[in-house]
Structure 1
Amino acid sequence: MSAPTHPARRPAALGKRLPWWAVALPVAAFVVLFVLMAGPGQAHAAGGTQDAPGIAYLLGRILDVLPF
């Protein structure tokens, strides 16, 4: 007794196209990351000494308000 043979099926994905955003979003993400990496090398780290007088003033005002 022989088993019935089925004709070879074509995968369903061969006839479908990707939507435009399925290609555009990864390309846009790659471009943004590339621009961030290749951007100007003039970035400087923020110094912690610039904020110290403001923080000291704020802490002083808080201590003045609190009843000890």
Structure 2
Amino acid sequence: MSARTHTRLHPATTGSVDVRLPWWALALPALAFITLLALILNPSDAHAASSDPAITHLLERVQELLAR
């Protein structure tokens, strides 16, 4: 037995979506990203127990490249 298809009473929308985000929906992820980026760029502020020297050299190299 086949199912009947339903016809739409209203035409489909044009694809424009009107969505309004609250200010904090953009501000909080941006703040978290900036905070994590600051910790990566300045690893001396992140008081880790001990780290591998290779990771420290890699982070210093990334900081030098971003400072240019």
TM-score by length of 1: 0.44
Rg larger in 1 or in 2? Answer: 1
TM-score by length of 2: 0.44
